[in-house]
Structure formats: structure tokens, C-alpha cells
Amino acid sequence: MSALLTVEQADEHIRAATANFGVEEIPVSDTAGRILRQPVRAERDLPPFDRVMMDGIALRHAAWADGQRAFRTEGIAAAGSPAMSLVSEDGCIEVMTGAVMPDGTDCVIPVERIDQSDGVAEVHSDYSPEPGQFIHRQGSDHPADTVLLEPGMRLGGPEAAVAAAAGLSVLKVGRMPSIGVISVGDELVEPGDPILPHQVRRSNDYAIEVAIRARRAGSVKRLFIEDDREQMLERIGACLEDADALVLSGGVSMGKFDFVPAVLDTLGIERVFHKVSQRPGRPMWFGRSAAGQPVFALPGNPVSAAVCLSRYVLPSLERGMGLRRVAPRCLRLGQTVRFEPDLTFFLPVTIQPADDAALVGAPQKPNTSGDFASLAGTDGFIELPRGRDVFPQGFVARFWPW
């Protein structure tokens, strides 16, 4: 496909080529950020019994309604202890939050509204309890076997709590793919190594690895290759044998030493598209191996690589792990922006509160697509559609986090 694609068309092609990275089973305690691949059902009614909601006393409301105000305490029901039963109709049981509601009682009076002395609890004269108050009824949250977590959810603390409460010690989640991250370029030097005036530090592969790890989107093996065609053929080919996906940066433009597209073609990787009508990131390349592995070749300029990674690569990897489609996040533009080229414009922003408490994207435009230092402290970027050159303050745009 040789024509320059729109952002929307590029996204559709990548979606159509989404890989399925499979499923693995891991302990619930290890699921932070992972994608659920099974339904989780309620093991029992939630709550599983009539649950006391306040420290105090449990009694028969009818006894209070008949005029009784002093109740002899028959025992203490603590959270985790078996259910107790009220023996005397005019007695009470001291109860703790989380305890099973004692049989024969139907009302909890908070400890703040009683006086206790010599085994007797006296209800304050100015307090009027209601039948059934401060009782969390069995099954009132969710009946047994209710689906509590759906496949495709990203897991966090609340979801781990739900799974554990459902009696599960392990969960099926999307398998984290192995990702080969390859930086290409003679000018690149490893951090910590001596550097000459005409060289630059390797940074893209570090940024890509950390971004993938931060999203729990894969395990990464980084690789550096010089601008040498034969070396590329050998080392990219070997990396492809061991990886579920490849993410390259550099060597995809039109220069004499930009060998990546030709090397990928020689390796039998089908080109799906090369170049997208966007800034930054126009030279982006995408293809698939014969085995179905996605291959993303990003521009070498750091801002371009970061934008393409967050706009296309990370969402694709997450879909391959089973993440369901989520509603887009949008921000209001914090100030008017002008952009005349007929391209989709990706503009880095910081998220700030407006006077009305809404969130706005404050533009932080880099000097160039190589100005990666300007991205530090930004939250992501907004996507300004092609077809217009003025975006007024307050314009609502799609937001992509790093």
C-alpha cells in the first residue's frame, strides 16, 4: 500500500492486524495493570449474611416500640464469630461492625446512642430507632453467581479485591508478549560510554521499554544495530524468531542509509503501510510477518517515536492482550492553536484544572521532533484533526497518555 494514509486509516489497518498473544494464569497479587481474560462471579451472596454496619447493640425493635429502654446484654458478637441468637425477647446482644446479625434481632442501635453499665444497655430517651436500621442485608449488593468482573478489564486494586472475595487465588489474564525493541543508527551511543561531538545518546529504546513496562504491555529485549544492511538482516531476523512483536526506531525515512523498510521486505515482512498524514511521525511504517507478528518501525526523531508509540503501538499491544475498547479520553484545549499543514497534529500537553474545575490540555509544543527534553513533565498529547488550521481555546480533542 503506497498511498499516504490518514490517521484513521492507519489505525484501522493496525486494528485489523491485531495479534492474539494468548492467556496465562497468575496469582491475584501479581495482576496489577494486567488484562483480565475470564469472567469473575460472586462465590456467595454479597454480603454473604445479614451484616452489622455499626458498633452498638442488636435488639428486637418491637421491644423498644413497646416502651422498653433498658436491655440486658446477653453476649458480644464480633466480626468473624459464628451467628448468635437472642435468648430473651427483651434482651440485646452487643455487636461489632462486620459481625453476623444475631438471630431474633432486627435493629442495631449505635454505641453512641446508648449508655452501658453493669451488663445493661440503656437507649437514650431522645433517640428513635427504625426497624432494620444499620443492617447490610444478605445478597443486597450482588446475588451469588453474579458476574462481577468482565473479560477485557484492566486490573487494579479494586478488581483484585473482588477476585479475592470471590475465592480466587489466581486469574487468567492476557499473556504479556515478548517485544523486541530495536534502535538503528550509526550516530547512537550507549549511556555511560564515551561520546564524540558528532554522536548522540541512545534514548528511544529506553523510552520505548519503560513505556511498555509502565503499561504492563509486554516484556522487552532491547537491541542496537548500526546502519549496516547485512547486520540488520541478521540481527532483526534473529530477534523476530524470539519475539511476539517488534518495535524499531530509526532508519525508516528516505535517506541513503535508511535501510529498514528494504530489510523488513527482504525478511518477508509484509508492508501494510508506510507514511501517515500526521505530524510528528509521518514516516511511520507498519507490517506483519508471515507468522502474524506485528512490526512497527517508528521514526528516529524522539518526539515522533514517542507519539507513534502511544498512539498506535501501545493500544495495539493491549488489544492483543485482550483489553476491550474503552471510551476515548478528551480534553478542552487550554489556548488557541494554529496549525496550517493538512495533517493530523499531535500536540503534547500538560493537564491542568480550569476555573470551572474542568480539565484542560495546556499545549507544550516542542521546538522540533527531536526536542525530546520538552516532553518531560507532560501528560501525553492531544490529537487535532486535519482539515482546519485554527483550533480555538476550549476545542475538545482526543487525549492520548504517554
- Evaluate whether residue 92 is within a structural domain: yes
- Last residue of some domain: 85, 111, 136? 136
- Evaluate whether residue 273 is within a structural domain: yes
Q: Report pLDDT for 368.
A: 82
Please give the residue range of the domain that contains residue 167. 32-44+144-174
Same domain membership, residue 240 and residue 205 = yes
Same domain membership, residue 224 and residue 191 = yes
How far is residue 212's CA from residue 382's CA, in Å, rounded to a whole number? Answer: 20
Same domain membership, residue 289 and residue 196 = yes
Three-state helix/strand/coil letters over the chain: CCCCECHHHHHHHHHHCCCCCCEEEEEHHHCCCCEECCCEECCCCECCCCEECCCEEEECHHHHHCCCCEEEEEEEECCCCCCCECCCCCEEEEECCCCECCECCCEEEEHHHEEEECCEEEECCCCCCCCCCCEECCCCCECCCCEEECCCCECCHHHHHHHHHCCCCEEEEECCCEEEEEEECCCEECCCCCCCCCCEECCHHHHHHHHHHHCCCCEEEEEEECCCHHHHHHHHHHHHHHCCEEEEECCCCCCCCCCHHHHHHHCCCEEEEECECEECCCCCEEEECCCCCEEEEECCCHHHHHHHHHHHHHHHHHHHCCCCCCCCEEEEECCCEECCCCCEEEEEEEEEECCCCCEEEEECCCCCCCCHHHHCCCCEEEEECCCCCEECCCCEEEEEEC
CATH of residue 360: 2.40.340.10
Same domain membership, residue 158 and residue 103 = no
Same domain membership, residue 313 and residue 208 = yes
CATH of residue 78: 2.170.190.11
- Last residue of some domain: 81, 106, 136? 136
Q: Report pLDDT for 3.
A: 65
- Evaluate whether residue 2 is within a structural domain: no
Residues of the chain with pLDDT under 50: 1-2
In the chain, the number of structural domains is 4
Q: Report pLDDT for 370.
A: 81
Q: Report pLDDT for 253.
A: 78
How far is residue 329's CA from residue 359's CA, in Å, rounded to a whole number? Answer: 11
- Answer for the pair 1, 273: CB distance below 8 angstroms, yes or no: yes
- Last residue of some domain: 269, 296, 321? 321
Same domain membership, residue 181 and residue 317 = yes
Q: Report pLDDT for 257.
A: 65
Same domain membership, residue 271 and residue 167 = no
Same domain membership, residue 206 and residue 109 = no
- Evaluate whether residue 83 is within a structural domain: yes
- Evaluate whether residue 1 is within a structural domain: no
Q: Report pLDDT for 14.
A: 98
- Evaluate whether residue 260 is within a structural domain: yes
